[in-house]
Structure 1
């Protein structure tokens, strides 16, 4: 077993601040409809809160995806084969990732994540469960092309992107990510890489809204943690007690939207800049798009991936799709 401590590819300034985080937050707060990309919800505290969310009764995606991975392991083995390097875009779940690794017997496991401490903790946990598996964690922003460790160059690749994280992005950004995944995974001796990706499905509005606004308030804490992170890392003065979690279904865009809504007029600074919010104004923090078979296939094809096989759980709530990279990296 070989477990690296992790390769750090995050660009930080002399004070240790993630430059991209600061730029995205300031740019988002300057907008008329304030908005911050959802990826910044996942610092170490946010990542742990999301793990807590996956165990909530209302949050069905993890159970549905786990059901598929458990029920279809033989099919995964047949279609994917053994000996691939599994590159997971986002630190592996303690439940889902082992199910895939057991099914396909990979040559190596490369988790990519922007949250360094959580990444290394997850990688270490996987290494303990699979002592014969080489694990190479990489701290990086996987929204851009990532240079993989030299140890897996020359090895066939399988990208793994569970949890329907692709749904957090508008179509343009999702297509860019799929193309950067294609570039990250590359091709070995003419064999195209594969991608196993989770996509949540359109369903009853009440089920969707409950999944993102649970009775215990864990999702609310996850959302509010973004404001706390801004205060901590960007010298922010956001009055967190003046914000509330808001989750709503937008039928026009087939997505759940998460917002931080001001419950009173507030003024604050972030990284030396002044901002204000009126009562009722929001910061848009996350989208979670839901898909049909057609919209999922269209998105994958636009990103350079041809769908090969699709599975759903018994209740038809969630889908896992196996896709193969098309010949051209910029395929329409």
Structure 2
């Protein structure tokens, strides 16, 4: 990679001033880690990361695998909260709680799983864990103090994709082409917004909610106060199938075609970087030190280290 592109990467991805000269910019470095099986969804745990795999959940560092937890069929995006990793099981239709220190399952909660194919999210917010539990349109709210379902919230059918942010739970239905805002104080839908074709994974952060419109190849920006679409970013012809995260003043989008991931400025809605070669489907999670991605068809995980300028 030439120094000018490296400068663009540093400025676009990690907030290094655009005025930095090419001579002071360090090239981004991708560390590719072989991961046997089908490593897919990720959850960041400090300097390590948890990944779903075939029949197991694994904890990895940059030096290799640290732990393995057998499960029937771990699936979907996971969350870390209350000193635990929370993972859906698409074979047993349960929500599993894993202790971060012991790497042992401490609770198995019969929530039901809305999408046994595995495209869904487990998220944390408002003192609870949330998972789409029925394809008819139900989200289960779980109390981590009792490991029990305390509410079942009606939503649009096929609301598999969730995120929590700006004080609300957000649920996306691909078949209904909608995002719904749910008030955790009342466990009710308070707004419904139409979206583009085949909306999927979403993230809340950098002042907005961001939804992949997979069929249109766009990312929709949702105003958290009004739940209205306030902008869109055209990324590729489609976004089948990827992942999305926010952090460090950017939106991070794992893609399938064209590159490994793109970086979006949340204010200008400009794509400020396209990074890596196409690596098929996989997941992405941002950290302040770098970015984790998976490429399950290539049986790899990658760590994209934050570039440093000379003298840092």
Instruction: Identify whether the pair has TM-score above 0.5, normalized to the shorter chain.
Output: no
TM-score range, shorter chain: under 0.3
Q: TM-score, structure 2 length as denominator?
A: 0.24
Specify which structure has the higher proportion of strand. Answer: 2
Which of 1 and 2 has higher RCO (CA within 8 Å, sep 6+)?
1
Q: Which of these two proteins has the greater Rg computed from alpha carbons?
A: 1
TM-score for both structures, normalised by structure 1: 0.23
